[in-house]
Amino acid sequence: MGLTVTWQPNAWRGNYPHLSSEDAPIWTKYLSTRGATWDEYAYDVAVGGQECPPDVPDDTMRQAWRFCTAKRIDVLARRRGARAIIEVRYQAGVSAVGALLVYKQLLTEDSPSLDPTHLLLLTDSIAPDTARAAQQLGIEVYRL
């Protein structure tokens, strides 16, 4: 899929697509405390997706199909040579850890130049064993 990413400066505040009403306050808190860690952010980044059935000849419809079936990264971040996938999750569990691992693979397939150097999980709470497993898998966990 042709990856489309719209970068916003780290000082930008606005509507964060794809963040639930429970997740958005966690993201806002992160921005106010650590937002300057990264230079730019991109929101609701589509990766992966399924191929359209072969009987659909219209290229626009084929692209729309793939976009609608894609997974959505909450936030991509970048600074100089570093890039991060950020999952924002209220009461994070194992599905948040799994999502980050899948997003990393799909992003690398879709756009190798954006291969992430960091995986971050932002949450208000997470079980200690889940946090420990995430960290062993290379995911940085921030409780906010």
Please check the confidence at residue 1 and state whether its pLDDT lies above 50: no
The model carries a pTM of 0.91
Mean of the pLDDT values across residues 64-91? 93
What percent of the chain is predicted at pLDDT more than 70? Answer: 98
Mean of the pLDDT values across residues 42-54? 87
Q: Which residue has the higher pLDDT, 128 or 2?
A: 128
Fold of 8-143: Trna Endonuclease; Chain: A, domain 1 (3.40.1350)
Do residues 66 and 95 make contact, with C-beta atoms less than 8 angstroms apart?
Answer: no
Can you say whether the dihedral through the CA atoms of 125, 128, 132, 137 is positive or negative? negative
Average of per-residue pLDDT values in the chain: 92
Domain residue spans of the chain: 8-143
CA distances (Å), origin 93, targets 45, 64, 125, 130: 21, 31, 9, 7
